[in-house]
Amino acid sequence: MAMDSSQVNIKEELICPICMDLLIGPLSLDCGHSFCQACITANKSLSNLEGESRCPVCQRTYYPWTLRPNRQLANIVEKFREVNVRSHQWQTRNVCERHGENCRNFCKEDGKAICSRCVQEHQGHQISPMEEVVKECQGKLQEALKKLTQEQQEAEELEAAISEERDTWKNHMQMERERILKGFEEMRGILDREERKELYSLEEDEVNVLMNLATARDEVVQQRQYMRELISDLQRHMCESSVDMLQDVINVIRRSEIWAFKKPKVVPRKLKTAFQVPDLSGMLQTFKELTEVQSHWVDLMLNPLYALSNVVVSADKRQVTVGNRFMFQSAYPCNFSAFDVLGNQNFSSGKYYWEVDVSGKIAWVLGVYSNTSILNSKKSSGFFLNPNVNYLNVYSRFRPANGYWVVGLQNGCEYSAFEDSSTSDPKVLTLSMAVPPCRVGVFLDYEAGTVSFFNVTNHGSIIYKFSKCRFSQTAYPYFNPWNCPAPMTLCPPSS
C-alpha cells in the first residue's frame, strides 16, 4: 500500500535537510529548523574560529551550545516509523491467520485488523475500512505536529522575551544600585565636609588662642625682666651712703613709684563656639528634597533673547558670558536687558529642574521668565529702552508682575530676591547665605505655581521659594550674566 498525500506531507516535516532521511535524535535551532544529531554536530563547513556556525537551511547564525534536543519531534518521528512499519507489514503480511484472507478492515475497540469473515465476530464494534483508519491517523499526526510546532515557536518566543526582560531587570537593578551608592556617597560627603568645616574652625580658634597666649607670655616676660632690673637697682642703692649717689637713688625711687604691673588680656578658658553635633536628620531631609527635585532635571541649552545680543554663548550652548562689557561702564541709561538669555525649552505644565554654575561671578540674575509680549518687543535690538522704566534702579523690571521670578547677586556678596510691591520698584529681599553658592538649582512646579532655588554647594539648602506664581504664558528658564566677565554655565543632568 503506497503512502497517501497526508503521509507524504508529514514525512517532509520529519526529514533531515542534511541527510534527507527521517530524523534521528533530532536537535532544533533557534530559527526553528531541526536536524539529525549526527548531521548537525558534524556541520563544520560554515563554522568560524569563535565556534559560530550557520543553519544549513536559512543561514542564520548559531552556536553549538544553543542546540536543543526536540523530544516531541522525536516522538512524532518514532510514531511515523511505527506507522510505516505497520503499513509495510500490512502490505506483506496483511493476511488473517484464521481465515487466510486479506485484512481490509480495522476494529477500533480491539485495535486490530480483521478480514471480512472476522467482522461477524466483532458485532457491535466500531469497524472501519483500513484505508480510512490510516488516513485518520495520518490526519491526527499532522494536527499534532502542527500544534506542537506552534507551541514550540511560542515557547521559543517566550524564552526570548523572558531573557530580554531579565536583562532589562538586571540593567535596572544595576542603575538603582549605582543610584543608591551615589546617594550614600553624597551623604557621606556631606558629613565629611561638615567635619572638615568644624575642624577648620577649631584650628582657627586654636591658632588665635595660642597666639594670644604667646603674646601675653612675652609681655609678662618683658615686665618681669624690667622688675628684676629695678629690684636689683633698689637693693644696690640701699647699701650705698655716698652723697654722690643720691641723685641715682632718687631716680630709682621715682622709677619704682611710677612702675605698675600690667596684666595681659585674659584668654577665655572656653571656646567661643563649642562643637554641637549637626542636625543630621535636617541635613538628610534637605538632601532628600534636593534629590527628589533633581529627578525632574531637564537638559537645557541657552538661547540669547536678542538678534543683536551683548552676550556670547558657547558652541555647545551651555555657557554664556558678557560680550563688550566695557560699553556698560556707565550703567545708565541701560537696564542690562541686553544680557537676557533664555533656555531653549518652554514649559506650560509639569515639573522641571536645572542647575547653573555661577562660581567666580560677582553678579548674576537667574530664575523663570514668562511674558510673551515683552519677548516679541526685544527681537530687533540689543537695547531695550522703555520710557516708563526708572533706570536709576536697574532691578526695577525684576518682579513677578512683569513675569520675572528671579534671585540675584550683586557686589560679590549681596544676595537678593525680587518680589512685587505697591510701588514701581520691586520689593528687594536680602538673602543670607551660610555658604556662598557656586552652583544654584532652580525647580519649577507649573501646576503648584512655585519656583524654588537651591544652594547645591551647601547640601541643597533652600535659597528662596516663590509661591502662588501665576504664569500668564509659557515659562522659560531665565539667565542674566550681568556685567561680570565670569561665565554662567548650565550643568548637564549627568553632573
Is the entire prediction scored with pTM above 0.85? Answer: no
Q: Which of 310, 319, 360 is nearest to 338 (CA)?
A: 310
3 state SS for 16-47: CCCCCCECCCCEECCCCCEECHHHHHCCCCCC
Least confident stretch, 181-185, 385-389, 430-434, 469-473: 385-389
Q: Read off the pLDDT of residues 387-414 as tens digits, 9 standing for 90 and up.
A: 344 434 667 788 898 899 999 999 899 9
For residues 3-29, one letter each, b for 16 or more C-beta atoms within 10 angstroms of the residue's C-beta and e for the rest, the string is eeebbeebeebbbbeeeeebbeebbbb
3 state SS for 202-255: HHHHHHHHHHHHHHHHHHHHHHHHHHHHHHHHHHHHHCCCCHHHHHHHHHHHHH
Q: Read off the pLDDT of residues 289-328 as tens digits, 9 standing for 90 and up.
A: 888 999 999 999 998 765 556 788 899 999 999 876 444 4
Q: Read off the pLDDT of residues 67-108 as tens digits, 9 standing for 90 and up.
A: 899 998 898 888 888 877 666 554 555 677 777 677 778 888
Model pLDDT, residue 476: 93
Q: Read off the pLDDT of residues 227-247 as tens digits, 9 standing for 90 and up.
A: 888 888 788 777 765 655 666
Q: Average pLDDT of the chain?
A: 81
Q: Return all residues near 334 (Cβ < 8 A) that are at least 6 apart.
A: 328, 383, 391, 394
Average pLDDT estimate for 476-488: 91
Q: Read off the pLDDT of residues 266-276 as tens digits, 9 standing for 90 and up.
A: 767 676 666 67
Q: Read off the pLDDT of residues 2-36 as tens digits, 9 standing for 90 and up.
A: 455 555 667 778 889 998 888 999 999 988 899 99
Q: What is the largest CA-CA distance in the chain?
A: 180
